[in-house]
Amino acid sequence: MIPESIGTRPVWAEVSLDSLAYNMEETRKIIPSSTMLMAAVKANGYGHGAEMCAKTFLESGADRLAVAMPDEGFQLRAMGIEAPILCLGYTPDYLYERAINKDISVTIYHESQVQGLAEAARATGNEAIFHAKIDTGMGRLGFQSSKESVEVIVRAAQTEGLFLEGVFTHFAVSDEADKGYSHDQFKKYMEVVEAVEEHVEIPIKHVNNSAGIIDLPEYSLDMARPGIILYGYYPSVHVDTSRIELRQAMTLNARISHLKHVPAGTGLSYGLTYKTERDSI
């Protein structure tokens, strides 16, 4: 049956909230009970609808939420979601005050961010909560694994108005069969963490993504960040699928507009780039 709300095009997606909840509950089963879960709902909940995904995950075992951009966090707050939210990506300095006022944690990965964030905290009269990201081999945002980076993170943590809530990194190839690179990334991460902890406390240490949660449970630490598995998909064919059963949450539907029979060798559409190999419908 075609929903009345689809508008003029007979194409629609159906999202099973039961499947979303099931995947969260199954994820919870394979991590230590002391490990928090930060559900990734970036990109409109991987296209499934951020609001209903966030609320379902929080009701099913998630402790926190992760977004990629600050506006995604602002939208969740406007939807009435009060759970802790971390923006994993870039937050422009002109949005620092808004992020602080909306109680959204920001990610820092360069010393140039520290002063602006501290000034925003003073301007709002509220504490700015931040997580420091370490680039251990992903090649994207993140402090380099160096003594200088440790000094910046410690200095930021000791800056008035700023609160270092966590330090994290992101695995690049944890979904591959060979975990050597991931082990090397974790080693680099822990070297930075241990150096920082000589000076300040790190309440939340987190590295594991979906593949890490499945294949590297020993790295779940204080918190893990499941993403694709919450929506019912394995990160790759190389992870140990026997560790967790998933249910695909979304189905895409369309009404067939035309059917016809054509003989073998019929070219289709512009350029006739595809030709049927047999009599086909």
Q: Is residue 255 helix, strand or coil?
A: coil
Residue keyed to tokens 């909940």: 45
Whole-number Å distance between alpha carbons of 133 and 90: 11
| Span 183-207, pLDDT tens digits | 999 999 999 999 999 999 999 999 9
pLDDT score of 3 more than 80? no
Q: Which of 94, 147, 260, 270 is catalytic?
A: 270
Instruction: Give how far Cα 51 sits from Cα of 46, 78, 85, 158, 263, Å.
Output: 11, 10, 13, 35, 48
CATH code: domain of residue 146: 3.20.20.10
Q: Which of 22, 29, 42, 234 is catalytic?
A: 42
Q: Is residue 268 helix, strand or coil?
A: strand
Rounded to a whole number of angstroms, the CA Rg of the chain reads: 22
- DSSP code of residue 48: T
Over range 217-235, report the average pLDDT: 98
pLDDT at 42: 98
| Span 26-79, pLDDT tens digits | 999 999 999 999 999 999 999 999 999 999 999 999 999 999 999 999 999 999
Instruction: Give how far Cα 38 sits from Cα of 88, 115, 159, 199, Å.
Output: 11, 28, 26, 26
24 lies in some domain = yes
Any catalytic annotation for residue 275?
A: no
pLDDT score of 218 more than 70? yes
Residue 11, C-beta contacts closer than 8 angstroms, at least 6 positions apart: 252, 253, 254, 255
Whole-number Å distance between alpha carbons of 65 and 87: 9
268 lies in some domain = no
Residue 55 token pair: 């609320």
**Mean predicted lDDT score pLDDT of the chain:** 97
Over range 7-24, report the average pLDDT: 93
DSSP H helical ranges for the chain: 17-29, 42-46, 50-59, 70-78, 96-101, 112-124, 147-157, 180-196, 210-215
| CA 58 to centroid of chain Cα atoms | 15
Residue 7 token pair: 């508008």
1 lies in some domain = no
pLDDT at 25: 98
279 lies in some domain = no
6 lies in some domain = no
Give the global pTM.
0.91
Any catalytic annotation for residue 179?
A: no
pLDDT at 8: 81
Q: What share of the chain is helix, strand, coil (3-state, %, to 5)?
A: 40, 20, 40
Instruction: Give how far Cα 43 sits from Cα of 50, 146, 148, 226, 228, Å.
Output: 8, 32, 33, 14, 12
89 lies in some domain = yes
Full residue range of the structural domain in which residue 154 is found: 17-248
Structural domain total, the chain: 1
270 lies in some domain = no
Q: Are 59 and 90 in contact (CB under 8 A)?
A: no
224 lies in some domain = yes
pLDDT score of 2 more than 70? no
